[in-house]
Amino acid sequence: MKYIFGPLASRRFGMSLGIDLSPDEKSCNFDCIYCELVRATKIEKIANPPKVDAVIAELKEAMCKFDFDVITITANGEPTLYHYLDELIDAINEIKGEKKLLILSNASTIERQDVRDSLSKLDIVKLSLDSVNEQTFKKIDRPMKSIELKNIIDGLIKYSQNCSNELVLEVLVVKGINDKVEEFTLLNRVINQINPARVDISTIDRPPAYDVEALTYEELYTLSKEIKNQTVFIATRKNIDAKKESFNEDDILKTLSKRPFTKADIEDVFDAKTKERFNSLFAFGKIEIVKVGNIDFFRTV
């Protein structure tokens, strides 16, 4: 399959079947210092966008094969840069049944009415807001020049005032960049205006694009106390109650190329046969280990 990957155990949304709308290259208008994808030129639109029919055909096949909780729209970058997003959401809604439909977006396009209208048709919308301080925002998310933080904040407030689905706001914290209490005091004011369903506070947990460091759980917890009057979730790797899945060798390599796994991920997601296939790929040098913050990650060579 070209556009579908997983299912993967997500820390925050359960077992997730992923849709990648840009499988051949990273397509993003940010260049976040913590990004787990390779560095790439920032773009405004996904080049060669896949046809909706092609994505839906693969999705139908995967839905027959796997058990999962959510269908997650991603794009090896920013999925709202996909030209046919609205059409795709409509088509998925027609076939998804009881499954939830989720998008993971950096919020860069939320100022646009058409994007807000499209996102309001999903079950869960995860939007990022790493800082409300212009300087910090530019330092951590490295957006395209045309993107302005105040437009993102205005768009988030407008969206939350009019949507009836679940809005999850994510703040990813990087050591020495957006981990000051003053940052969180400012964030708290804006987050209370947005008033999302949940605020996820997370940190780096996979090999990042730049040389930056994660916070400890205790540090995240301390900062999270600055976000008042909100449902705050500290996204950690603990307690993922995942159903084991069977992957062939190609699926294993494809999955690890998109998302490096820890030993815990392998235990959580792979069934016994898949683990044997994984061990053999590792023995043949198709998979390597990289260490981040004292945690070993397995990824394709």
- Residues in contact with ligand SF4 by CB under 6 A are 28, 30-32, 35, 37, 77-78, 106
Q: For ligand SF4, which is the closer residue by CB, 30 or 297?
A: 30
Q: For ligand SF4, which is the closer residue by CB, 278 or 297?
A: 297
CB 33 within 8 A of CB 90: no
Q: For ligand SF4, which is the closer residue by CB, 30 or 278?
A: 30
State in angstroms the smallest separation of the CB of 30 from ligand SF4.
4
Q: For ligand SF4, which is the closer residue by CB, 23 or 66?
A: 23
Cα–Cα separations (whole angstroms), residue 120 to 25, 110, 163: 27, 11, 6
Q: For ligand SF4, which is the closer residue by CB, 191 or 204?
A: 204
Q: For ligand SF4, which is the closer residue by CB, 77 or 281?
A: 77
State in angstroms the smallest separation of the CB of 75 from ligand SF4.
8
Structure tokens at 5: 């990957």
State in angstroms the smallest separation of the CB of 106 from ligand SF4.
4
State in angstroms the smallest separation of the CB of 32 from ligand SF4.
3
State in angstroms the smallest separation of the CB of 74 from ligand SF4.
8
Q: For ligand SF4, which is the closer residue by CB, 30 or 298?
A: 30
**Integer Rg of the chain from CA:** 19
State in angstroms the smallest separation of the CB of 272 from ligand SF4.
33
State in angstroms the smallest separation of the CB of 182 from ligand SF4.
23
